[in-house]
Amino acid sequence: MKAYIKAISYYLPERIVTNEELLQEFPEWSVDKVAAKVGVNTRHLAASDETAGDMAEKAARKLFAEYGIKAEDVDFVMLCTQSPDYFLPSTACILQHRLGIPTTAGAFDYNLGCSGCIYGLAVAKGLIVAGIAKNVLMLTAETYNKYLHPSDKSNRSIFGDGAAACLISTEGIAEIGEFVLGTDGNGAENLIVKTGAARQKQPTGLSSIDDEGHERFDDYLYMNGGAIFNFTLEAVPAMMKQVLEKNGVEKDNIDYYVFHQANKFMLNTIRKVCVLPKDKFHINLENTGNTVSSTVMIALKDCIEEGIISAGMNVMITGFGVGLSWGGTILKF
Active-site residues: which are they? 114, 260, 290
Helix, strand or coil, per DSSP, at residue 2: coil
Check if the beta carbon of residue 110 is closer than 8 Å to that of residue 77. Answer: no
Among left, alpha and beta (phi > 0; psi -120 to 50; other), residue 191 is beta
Check if the beta carbon of residue 110 is closer than 8 Å to that of residue 80. Answer: yes
What span, in angstroms and rounded, lies between the C-alpha atoms of 326 and 93? 26
**Separation in Å, CA 78 to CA 137, 163, 234:** 6, 13, 30
What DSSP letter does each residue of 86-121 carry, written as one string? -SSS-HHHHHHHHTT--TTSEEEEE--STTHHHHHH
Q: Would you report the helix, strand and coil content of the chain in percent, each value rounded to 5?
A: 35, 25, 40
What span, in angstroms and rounded, lies between the C-alpha atoms of 240 and 51? 34
- Quick one: which of 74, 75, 55 has its CA closest to 9? 55
Question: Any idea what DSSP says for residue 159?
Answer: B
Q: Dihedrals φ, ψ of 98, to 5°?
A: -65, -30
CA within 13 Å, CB half, 207: 12
Q: Cβ atoms within 10 A of the Cβ of 225, count? A: 18
Question: To 10 degrees, what angle do helices 52-67 and 91-98 make?
Answer: 40
**Separation in Å, CA 237 to CA 47, 318, 327:** 37, 11, 12
Check if the beta carbon of residue 227 is closer than 8 Å to that of residue 181. Answer: no
Helix, strand or coil, per DSSP, at residue 215: strand
